[in-house]
Structure 1
Amino acid sequence: MNGKWFNFYKKQGKVAKQAHIGFPEDTYEREMGKEGFFGPVTHFYHQNKHTGWTDFQGDIRPRAFDSNLFGSCHGTPWDAHVLMKNNNVKIRLLKMDTSMNHLVRNADGDDLLFLHQGTADLYCDFGHMIIKEGDYLMLPKGTMWRLEVSNPCTVLMVEATNGHYQLPDKGLLGPNAIVDAAVYRTPEINDAFKTQYSTDDWTVKVKRLQKISTINYPFNPLDAVGWQGDLMPVALNWRDISPVMSHRFHVPPSAHTTFLGNRFVICTFVPRLFETDPEALKVPFYHNNDDYDEVLFYHAGNFFSRDNIHPGMMTLHPTGFTHGPHPKAMNNAFKQKNAMTEEVAVMIDTRDPLEVCDAAEQVEWPDYVNSWKETK
């Protein structure tokens, strides 16, 4: 049986005329909602910041990790550090400084690669493509591929375990908004691809149920001379994303959704103009994590809502507590020094709890939870 949300509206006490604009004097707004930012919602106006804890104990504490501390590189994506996982998603950090001498195939789900650093040539069933810093690369389940590294690469890998990647519905914005399909790049059967045809021995490492099988061939199985269809790898650089903006309203992260997985979403925060209305909130609003675990990977720029965060770091805000801007960021809640944000970040919101793996704990910043405390 399909249900529907309660849909009547009530209000009590002093409230803003509308969300994120013109708060009652000396108050802080907190959003409580269902299904991330997609369901019914209530806004509270508090006398104190609900991130102003004096002590925080337990598994749902906010956590931060620094992937820059990983030293070793990997010869295959299947050796990459698994940072967090659940039944629908696995988040890995891959570091490569040499080219792959074999092919890989993921039989567990689609893979999404975000190239944090480096440049590489992708060779796959569908052809050849150059990928570079700032690129997303979506590889459909079953694709055979390898990377030839031009410059050392650091790659955030997000597996849609037993699932697939799709695009969000852009609704009233129309098909050309946020990401125009014209900017997606696809592999080509070009001269570089044809050059690698060979009768040399090749190995394919296939991952299924998180175990590796190997298949050996007396030829390079990337030997297609053509293909046609609507299933293929696609690349997208964050610089080709045109973010949704409002001069009067701080739009929620859901408006920045780039990819949909099974029970998780991936959003991309790219530079945009700050809100110009003097009463409009100009930093992320305080909100509860009541349905989704939230992971942020910081790629580049100045992260205006966070302190002591630099590119290559990752934060986890589990379900169950209120979070939002760090204390110093709230000093600029209604007035910013610059006209635009500068940050580039990848957000992974998961409907099911994430397990933090040993590799992530090795590079954890344990004092992150205390960075929210107010300084006297």
Structure 2
Amino acid sequence: MPYFTQVGHVPRKRHVAFRQPDGSLYWEELIGEDGFVGDTSLLYHRNPPSALTAIETVETADEGLHANQPLSPIHLTPHSLPIKGDAVLDRVLLLSNDDVRISYAVATEDSSLYKNSTGDELAYVESGSGALESTFGRIDIVEGDYVIVPTSTIHRWTVRGDEELRLLFVEARGHIDPPKRYLSERGQFIEGTPYCELDIRRPTELLDVSGSDVPVIVRTRTGLTRNVHKHHPFDVVGWHGGMYPWSFSIHDFEPITGSLHQPPPMHQILEAPGFVMCNFVPRLLDYNPNAVPIPPFHSNVDSDEVLFYAKGQAKTRQGTGVGLGSITVHPAGFIHGPHPGNVERALGAARADEYQVMIDTHRPLQLSAALKDCVDPEYPFTWANLEEGARKVPSDA
């Protein structure tokens, strides 16, 4: 984020002697993007942050990535996956390419401490509540929240009560930011954008945790490593800068509508190298008297389109088995659109009642081995199978 923030106890100047009550120095940690010419933050630790007592390889299962060949549209049902536990170690990879990894987790316990050193991460909270705890402090999270964690931030996911915390993870190979067209030259959200600074939540409460021999899982480009820290990484007494975790709610997104159908870029929320993210929320539908208030058939020739059906009704997919918690993948090269009968049903509708999260990738996605446990083999043929019944749907249905 480009907004300067200060939390806790910090010195008057950067890189000066800053002393603890016993006279010893606080340990300054500089974390920065783009070779320290991008956003940076300075954190002040009670103990040296790089003091390690052990380094170990974390063995992981083969993810079984393979091409979507023969090229097919896909319907996934992540709720059917037999997963529970830790949002870090027990998340399941579904889709991946060189720019992005899309995973799903059902957290039933607080996660391991974790640092992704390959890029920023986003988590969408499908259901449940808890918190993101990090070296920067705590952000409470609830259903509908997007949570962006900058690369190399040590953090963990905590679960509130006995409720499951269901998370859709989007792991970038770069930085996840608001679209450039939403921002002024100095980084302020301009007028007319569908969300702004007032919707963004940042860490405000430091954790300042003590402890010793603390394991941290680190993702690198070669796999997972376990670093055991001599001191707890959350021993931070203050920080300042423009690089930190942040969150906002899908419920605060202000949809842009029109008299005729608006394309997906009107619903964009974020961008990153190799992909963009949009969401679709409850809104007024197209209000031209002759409008067809539903997307036409389309070929996005440069992108694979991933849709997560988070809440509400998927009007374009009625009769297909797509429902809450479903994920569809419509790859580049596949013409897709409303299923038969749904255009007629949509005519005259005044509002959409849906919450959907979309990831459009610029490179083809590979499929993981986990798909065998949650893929609907009949989905590619639903347009043909529903066609005959659609011929009998009257236009005023």
Displacement of 1:76 after TM fit?
Answer: 4.6
Is residue 128–residue 187 contact of structure 1 (8 Å, CA) maintained in 2? yes
TM-score (structure 2 length as normaliser): 0.75
Name the CA distance, whole Å, in 1 between partners of 2:341 and 2:247.
Answer: 36
**Residue 152 of structure 1, aligned match among 161, 164, 183:** 164
Q: 8 Å contact 1:138–1:233 — kept in the other structure?
A: yes
Query: What's 2:288 paired with?
Result: 277
Instruction: State the distance in 2 between where 1:143 and 1:228 align.
Output: 14
Cα deviation digits, residues 13-40 of structure 1 (max 9, x gap): xxxxxxxxxxxxxxxxxxxxxxxxxxxx
- Please give the per-residue CA displacement for 1:272-318, whole angstroms capped at 9, x wherever unaligned: 01112111220012111311100001100011111221111100001
Aligned 1:220-235 pairs, distance under 5 A? 220-235=232-247
Q: Does 2:353 align with 1:342?
A: yes
Alpha-carbon displacement from aligned partner over 1:120-172 (angstroms, at most 9, x marks no partner): 122101101111111000000000001121131111000112x1112111389
User: Is 1:166 equivalent to 2:177 in the alignment?
Assistant: yes
Aligned pairs (5 A) from 1:212-361? 212-246=224-258, 248-307=259-318, 308-336=321-349, 339-361=350-372
Q: Is the 8 A contact 1:70 1:363 kept in 2?
A: yes
2:194 corresponding residue in structure 1: 178
Say which SS state the counterpart of residue 320 (structure 1) adopts.
coil
List per-residue Cα deviations over 1:299-357 (Å, max 9, x = no partner): 00011111221111100001112111111211134322xx3111101101011000011
Residue pair 2:87, 2:106 contacting (<8 A) in 1 also: no
* Aligned counterpart for 1:84 among listed residues 86, 91, 95: 95
Matched position secondary structure for 1:244? coil
Give me the whole-angstrom Cα distance separating, in 1, the residues matched to 2:192 and 2:244.
20
**Counterpart-to-counterpart distance in 1, 2:326 and 2:87:** 22
Distance 2:205 2:293 in 1: 47
Of residues 219-228 and 136-145 in structure 1, the stretch that sits farther from structure 2 once superposed is 219-228
The residue type equivalent to 1:118 in the other structure is: G
Q: Name the amino acid aligned to 1:241.
A: F
Letter in 2 for 1:124: S
**1:298–1:344: 8 Å Cα contact kept in structure 2?**
yes
Distance 2:381 2:338 in 1: 14
Q: Secondary structure at the match of 1:157?
A: strand
Counterpart AA for 1:349: D
2:113 paired with 1:129 = no
Deviations along 1:46-80, one digit per CA (max 9) or x if unpaired, are xxxxxxxxxxx962221100001012213251431
Per-residue deviation, 1:240: 0.6
Check the 8 A contact 2:270/2:277 in 1, yes or no: yes
Of residues 318-327 and 171-180 in structure 1, the stretch that sits farther from structure 2 once superposed is 171-180
Deviations 1:172-209, CA, capped at 9 Å, x for gaps: 9934520011110011235xx24xx1224311110101
Give CA-to-partner distance per residue, 1:92-128, whole Å, 9 cap, x none: 111110112x310001110010011111122101101
- Pair 1:113 & 2:123 matched: yes
Could you state the TM-score of these two structures normalised by the residue count of structure 1?
0.79
- 2: CA distance, partners of 1:79 / 1:213: 15
Alpha-carbon shift at residue 216 of structure 1 (Å) = 1.1
Q: Does the aligned pair in 2 maintain the 1:110–1:165 contact within 8 Å?
A: yes
Note if contact 1:108-1:210 (Cα within 8 Å) is conserved in structure 2. no
| 2:129 partner letter | T
**Distance in 2 between residues matched to 1:289 and 1:121, nearest whole Å:** 36
State how far apart, in whole Å, the 2-side matches of 1:350 and 1:314 are. 15
More off after superposition, 169-178 vs 212-221: 169-178
| Counterpart check, 1:202 vs 2:214 | yes
Unaligned runs of 5+ in 1: 1-56
- Which amino acid is 1:322 matched to? I
CA RMSD of aligned residues (A): 1.8
CA distance in 2, matches of 1:189, 1:226: 10
How far apart, CA to CA, are the structure 2 residues paired with 1:268 and 1:165?
15
